[in-house]
Structure 1
Amino acid sequence: MKIIDAHCDVLMKMYENENIHFDHHLFLDVTKSRLLKSNTLMQCFAIYISEQINNPNIDHILQYVYIFHDKVLKHNNFIHIKNKSDLKYALTKNKTGAMLTLEGVDALGGNLTYLRILYELGVRCIGITWNYGNWAADGVLEPRGSSFSLKGKKLVEICNDLGIVLDVSHLNEKSFWDFTSFTNKPFIASHSNVFDLCNHVRNLKKNQITEIIKINGRIGLCFYPRFVNNSEDAYISDLLKHIEYVCELGGEHHLGFGSDFDGIDQCMNDLRHTGDYITLKETLLKYYPENIVEGFMYKNWFDFFEENLPNN
């Protein structure tokens, strides 16, 4: 059974320490060999410019793109996923797909012409904010609690036209609902869980989940313990409650995973790295039919990207 994971931060670790390579198990959760061992069809690699970096700009993003090519795509079995054909090729030829995403548009500095450049470089998904506000919109921890700027709305329009999927995982509620009023494409929450089960501000309220289901978007459940049960001590059994909650809302075909591996400082006890996806799959098969588990593990994401990625 294949796997698609919608979010990891391994590029950030390799950016911050140039001596870390892509199979360095001592430092990384997501590695080349673990992806191959777990039969991963596609891993999304986030470009996340840490808030610790002063004046983030396009040069920082370009350095991440270089690392993506130099340390990930150089391996023979990996293919850069930029369109529907790439995705189908990865599936039929048993390749491991790698999709480039951007987490927070701060480094673009409001220059919308950079969006076309990012598209040409293969970025196919953009999260508009991280936790705080930027020139485009407000995130979940921004005290002013505002929404999209005019330029932020223009960003959404351009991304919709280009074929860049938009990710709402870090938007505050006001931004989320305003976004739904002017976007014209299905969107995702790449790494968020259920607020009713774990009342962390980064998790999704019931009406947000039903909205994503209604517009045929996708939700990637995250493996950060504090998003699972608000503690440092979480297990797959706790994650199952989030899965069942979304399924009860009619979201069994809109649900996948976005681990946030390498972007979290704590891991679940039985989901410590990409290799443990095998344990997750085996556990799910005890409770759900194989075709439903196949959906959770990869097919729901595959169907979404097959429909929403550019043709070429």
Structure 2
Amino acid sequence: MEPVRKADFHCDVIWKLLEDPTLSFERDDQGKLDVTLPRLKQAGSTFQTFALYIPDRMEKTMVPLLQSVDLFYRKVLALPEMAFIRTAGDVAALRRNPGTIGAMLSLEGADGLQGDLAMLRILFALGVRAAGLTWNNANWGADGVLEPRGGGLTKKGRAFVEECNRLGILVDVSHLSDRAFWDVLQLSGKPVIASHSNCRSLCPHPRNLTDEQIKALLAAGGLIGVTFVPQFVSSTRAPAGIADVLRHVERICEFGGERQLMFGSDFDGIDQYVRELTHPGELHRLQDALSANYSDALVGAFFESNAMTFLATHLPQ
């Protein structure tokens, strides 16, 4: 099979650039980044989502979020090969320009907004088009998956979801507690995404989704991004491999999700890797494994067209 175009709905390279200003996305001559322009080119990438994430050791305010947006503009968008994706029209233009890589901003954890939806509107104006309320812990809007009380959305969290719907920001349910997941699914008037989550029935980690959650997300027209975080791929002592990733793909397809499945690598957000899948340049190995089990059309859908069709439908016009 010829190389297929690749789309990835989650990476954390921006927070690495935030913590170490000497790093270069354009060339990464220090070998400290998973996702770089050369590796995206090597993969045949056409789209990459860049997450805005504030680690716990930083102050949870708008300042590091805006600094991260600034880095995205200066170190990613400034490169002629990269194209900003904010609207359905941007997706259409990207498809007409082979060799260009689309770049979209997402928010991973809304702690820094401090409950002020004006801050969400500012991030929307700056180009953020997907947002998850929490990381793993609780904040003003909801509980994350590792918060012991397992609470759902707060009043402000509900207002956040409604404002995302109004603006045209995709709501991301990865990292939410189970109760918050169901609150979002019930409340959102638009399809939601799980940008980087796997199947809990195959790997019982709380960051993964239950079969019931996956079925409900698919029934609501959403997307699920199979991720390459080893702890979410396999619970055995043996290192996770590409065959283990395929099990999650197969499970989602069993639920009729073959046209709603994508990939959300979590590259640069992990320090352990699935064997032979350590950066975008190695995605051809996953493609080869998928091609042994699925048609060329479906492999292309998993890697790129499912995600891009969804964006063309649900991003602002």
Instruction: Give the TM-score band, short-chain normalised.
Output: over 0.9
Equivalent-residue separation in structure 2 for 1:78 and 1:92 (angstroms): 14
Q: Does 1:14 align with 2:17?
A: yes
- Which residue pairs with 1:266 in the alignment? 272
Deviations 1:120-140 (A, max 9, x none): 100000011000000000000
- Which residue pairs with 2:95 in the alignment? 91
Q: Are 2:185 and 2:217, in contact at CA under 8 Å, matched by a contact in 1?
A: no
Which of residues 47, 63, 79 is equivalent to 1:75?
A: 79
Mean Cα deviation higher: 230-239 or 147-156: 230-239
Gapped runs of 5+ residues in structure 1? none
Equivalent-residue separation in structure 1 for 2:246 and 2:307 (angstroms): 18
- Which residue pairs with 1:297 in the alignment? 303
Which of residues 1, 24, 29 is equivalent to 2:28?
A: 24
Kindly state the Cα deviation for residue 279 of structure 1 after the two structures are TM-superposed: 1.5
Equivalent-residue separation in structure 1 for 2:121 and 2:313 (angstroms): 21
Gapped runs of 5+ residues in structure 2? none
- Which residue pairs with 1:214 in the alignment? 219
Q: Does 1:119 align with 2:136?
A: no
Kindly state the Cα deviation for residue 104 of structure 1 after the two structures are TM-superposed: 0.3
Which AA in structure 2 matches 1:32? L
Equivalent-residue separation in structure 2 for 1:27 and 1:58 (angstroms): 26
Deviations 1:40-75 (A, max 9, x none): 11100000000111x311111110001001111111
Equivalent-residue separation in structure 1 for 2:276 and 2:267 (angstroms): 13
Map 1:1-312 onto structure 2 (within 5 A): 1-22=4-25, 23-24=27-28, 26-53=31-58, 55-94=59-98, 95-230=100-235, 231=237, 233-311=239-317
Equivalent-residue separation in structure 1 for 2:86 and 2:179 (angstroms): 31
Equivalent-residue separation in structure 2 for 1:154 and 1:113 (angstroms): 12
Equivalent-residue separation in structure 1 for 2:266 and 2:238 (angstroms): 15
Q: Are 1:221 and 1:259, in contact at CA under 8 Å, matched by a contact in 2?
A: yes
Equivalent-residue separation in structure 2 for 1:278 and 1:31 (angstroms): 16
Q: Which runs of 4+ in 1 moved over 3 A?
A: none
Equivalent-residue separation in structure 1 for 2:33 and 2:103 (angstroms): 16
Q: Are 1:79 and 1:98, in contact at CA under 8 Å, matched by a contact in 2?
A: yes
Which AA in structure 1 matches 2:253? C
Deviations 1:221-257 (A, max 9, x none): 1101110002561111111111111101111111110
Equivalent-residue separation in structure 2 for 1:50 and 1:262 (angstroms): 13
Q: Are 1:132 and 1:141, in contact at CA under 8 Å, matched by a contact in 2?
A: yes
Q: Are 1:225 and 1:232, in contact at CA under 8 Å, matched by a contact in 2?
A: no
Equivalent-residue separation in structure 1 for 2:56 and 2:156 (angstroms): 22
Q: Are 2:185 and 2:192, in contact at CA under 8 Å, matched by a contact in 1?
A: no
Which AA in structure 2 matches 1:34? R
Deviations 1:194-224 (A, max 9, x none): 0011001100100000011101100001101
TM-score by length of 1: 0.98
- Count of residue pairs the alignment pairs up: 310
Equivalent-residue separation in structure 2 for 1:240 and 1:183 (angstroms): 30
Q: Are 2:222 and 2:260, in contact at CA under 8 Å, matched by a contact in 1?
A: yes
Deviations 1:83-140 (A, max 9, x none): 0111111121111000010000000011111111111100000011000000000000
Q: Are 2:106 and 2:128, in contact at CA under 8 Å, matched by a contact in 1?
A: yes
RMSD: 0.9
